[in-house]
Structure 1
Amino acid sequence: MLRQTPLSLATAALFGALAISPFANAEMPDTLNWTAYGTGTSGHAQIMAIGQIIQQRSGTQFRVIPGENDILRMTPLKTGRVDLCACGIASYYGSEGVMMFAGPDWGPQPIRVISTSLASFGLGMAVAGDVDVETPADLKGKRVAYIRGDDALNKAAEAYLAFGGLGWDDVEKVVFPGYNSAFDGIISGRADAAITTTVTPAAQRLAASPRGIQWPQLARDNQAGWQRMEAVAPYFQPHEVTAGAGIPEDGYHSASYPYPIMVANADLEYDTAYGLIKTLVEDYDRYKDAAPGAAGYAVENQNMTWVIPFHEAVVDYYRQAGIWTEEMQAHQDQLLKRQQLLAEAWDRYTASAPDDEEAFRQGWLDARAEALEAAGMRPVF
């Protein structure tokens, strides 16, 4: 079953533990470069707010480069043009070398988490309010949007259907050229449901339309449902959603994953990573209300046994704070072992891979699955 690891930590104990840390005065660089979602998004606003705190604390100048899609956000990180990416779930796909990262120019990336934000909104299946749906199982036979070229949203839709014991063959798949056109389609009566975050303008447009909006509940005690969802998309975790268009006053049971996911490459300077997590934790009260969703970086919102390994400096910070457990370390070790195995499998495969891009991608996915299964690890994709 998907599990979140909530953390409860007294402020006095945290600062007491870190006051004696030999790394407590780690020096930050003169400049930090980031990629983030486009200007006007909550992810961009959060990084701007956090960057200002870092600048005030250490004098580090910062630059945020907006990227309108996953490739534009991840490429500067891959090439070393930026130090950090405030990414979406594409950071996980990159670490696994799948979907848009399965081609010859990519492959598995040495991604490390600095921190993540899990706020009061969620990612869910928005359903027109005039359709009889209470749970994902009720989507059977309904018209569900499929976004051409958007692997992340389509995988999320597949995961929600799986929770209800359904697949794409159990619904009417309606293909749309883009995200906004999918919601235009629901409003105009050509589809019934699409994946989105609860606070997007698209969800607000649907809620204000004559059809209205609703969000299927994901029961906490439906263990089989959670297991099916995890098998499709292991990055989802149970989440109580309290903010968004058409959300009930007392919230609703759903699933989500962090956004943004603050990541770097494994070779990010230790002092830089340590200074970042130190600022994010100890200056939390200074930025948590500065941008929508920024409160989601709270320590208690961090899932320490998630799907991407932490940077070693972040692990040290949490260990010195007294909240890093043997279970967390064992999970971290498994993630690092998985990344190493994928990197080695990629090197072996690319040594004699076909030139045709489609053949390359399929051959890599087959080689990847074979290597993971041989090591007793689940390929997932």
Structure 2
Amino acid sequence: MQRSTRKHPSWILVLVLILGFAAACAPEEDPEGEPDEEADTDTAFEMPDTVVWTAYDVGSAGYSQSASIGHAMGGEGITLRVIPGGNDVARQSPLLGGRAHFGALGIASFLSQEGVMEFSETEWGPQSVRILGAAWADFNTGIASCAGDVGIATVDDLEGKRLAWVVGAPALNLNMTSFLAAADLTWDDVERVEFPSFGAATRAALENQVDCYVASTNSGNAVELSESPRGFQPAHLPRPEEDPDAWDRLLSEAPYWEFNEATIGADPVSEEEPHIGSTYGYPIITTYDVQDPGLVYEQARLIYELLPEYEDAYPGNDGFALEAQRFEWVMPYHEGAVRYFEEQGVWTDEMEAHNQALIERQEVLAAAYDRALSELEEEQLTAEEFPDLWMEIRAEELTGAGFEPYWEDVFW
């Protein structure tokens, strides 16, 4: 097992791009669509004719942004084929299995690194993910996206409402958990409605079967909700200086958030009416540590240098600018991307030290998981007992190595 983050362009043009791209991006069994093997990293790397990504369902911000990048790559003679997935596990599985080179992932990539929630299961465990970058723009990622007809203005108003829980989507569910925590609420204070996929949750909001789900303010699904009879209202957070306790509770559940005032998004989000909330870069272009450095270098180069070709194709694409990147975040950058950053003169010794510490963290997590598996067998524990054992060992090993464990007990 390999174990090794009110002014739109024309939505009609974007929809045409997405629908046209979807036909080319549908999963297929043609072996020509499989990732090409490139072993020699010491010679000049030649990009394959087809590069395979994964993303959320058609209509998601991540899929739409992938489509726009793919359109720009087409001008370089490269086909970008995107495999859509209905949840976090479905998006990352093709990367793990070698059926995709990269994923336009969400913060589940970080959760997979940490080996928590669905990624605590024995077929996963902590993953040695690497990133190339993310879109850090003036939208808010993964926020509580609510219908406008149920009286929700802030996260405090989530109490008693119908909230989506997407099976196999730990990032979406942890995000909502953190918003509840910010309001000093839990899932016991709301009506949890389960859905098999992100797309199913968004459709349910349109059909008045759920009040809120997790999506980005610039998501096509949020636009669709805003144009429906229900309308769209993202739940605001207090500013950190206004309610530091709320932010402490938020970050205790989800340490990857940063404060942001979003001006890009579905109506009513605008410069005149920003969404006060939290965000992280999205989509996070992710791969594994074993991916060919030459391929990663070229893919990173195309993402950053083709930006003028796709920047205006979807709201928030400007967040892929090199100067917008967070080079000291919660997941390490791939060595191929680092080489590109070094050539651009933006990579410092401090960034390299931070990156190496994150890689060391992954090594500690991998060793801790192996220990947990050994003790599971030695003590003849059941699968139901394993998460408690794993989280105890995980916290012990990370703390002993000088790392913050973030969580010490099972929280899912």
The alpha carbon displacement at 1:107 in A equals 0.7
TM-score w.r.t. length of structure 1: 0.80
The alpha carbon displacement at 1:229 in A equals 1.8
The aligned runs of 1:297-316 (5 Å cut-off) are: 297-316=320-339
Gaps of 5+ in 1: 5-22
**Closer, same or farther in 2 for the Cα pair 1:238/1:300, shift >3 Å?**
farther
Deviates more, 1:353-362 or 1:254-263: 353-362
**Closer, same or farther in 2 for the Cα pair 1:369/1:188, shift >3 Å?**
same
The alpha carbon displacement at 1:134 in A equals 4.5
**Mapped partners of 2:191, 2:389: distance in 1:** 28
Is 1:231 the counterpart of 2:249 in the alignment?
A: no
Amino acid at match of 2:259: P
The alpha carbon displacement at 1:340 in A equals 0.8
The equivalent position to 2:125 in structure 1, one of 104, 107, 115, is 107
Is 1:143 the counterpart of 2:122 in the alignment?
A: no
**Mapped partners of 2:89, 2:187: distance in 1:** 26
The alpha carbon displacement at 1:100 in A equals 1.3
Amino acid at match of 1:276: Q
**Mapped partners of 1:180, 1:276: distance in 2:** 28
**Closer, same or farther in 2 for the Cα pair 1:288/1:192, shift >3 Å?**
closer
Note if contact 1:198-1:245 (Cα within 8 Å) is conserved in structure 2: no
The alpha carbon displacement at 1:180 in A equals 6.6
For residue 353 of structure 1, give the secondary structure of its aligned residue in structure 2. helix
**Mapped partners of 1:187, 1:280: distance in 2:** 34
The aligned runs of 1:1-381 (5 Å cut-off) are: 27-31=45-49, 32-54=51-73, 56-57=75-76, 59-122=77-140, 123-129=142-148, 134-136=153-155, 138-139=156-157, 141-147=159-165, 149=167, 150-169=169-188, 171-177=189-195, 193-200=212-219, 203-204=222-223, 206-207=225-226, 212-218=231-237, 219-222=239-242, 223-242=244-263, 243-250=265-272, 251-354=274-377, 356-381=382-407
**Mapped partners of 1:338, 1:73: distance in 2:** 24
Cα deviation, 1:47-102, whole Å, max 9, x if unaligned, reads: 34434544544x55543333332222212211223221122222112111111111
What percentage of aligned pairs have identical amino acids?
Answer: 34
Amino acid at match of 2:392: D
Note if contact 2:61-2:218 (Cα within 8 Å) is conserved in structure 1: no
Amino acid at match of 2:233: Q
**Closer, same or farther in 2 for the Cα pair 1:28/1:115, shift >3 Å?**
farther
Note if contact 2:111-2:117 (Cα within 8 Å) is conserved in structure 1: yes
The alpha carbon displacement at 1:130 in A equals 5.6
**Closer, same or farther in 2 for the Cα pair 1:339/1:188, shift >3 Å?**
same
Gaps of 5+ in 2: 6-40, 408-412
**Mapped partners of 1:290, 1:185: distance in 2:** 28
**Mapped partners of 1:213, 1:40: distance in 2:** 16
For residue 357 of structure 1, give the secondary structure of its aligned residue in structure 2. coil
TM-score w.r.t. length of structure 2: 0.74
Would you say how many aligned residue pairs link Structure 1 and Structure 2? Answer: 356
The alpha carbon displacement at 1:194 in A equals 4.0
The alpha carbon displacement at 1:266 in A equals 0.9
Note if contact 1:139-1:161 (Cα within 8 Å) is conserved in structure 2: no
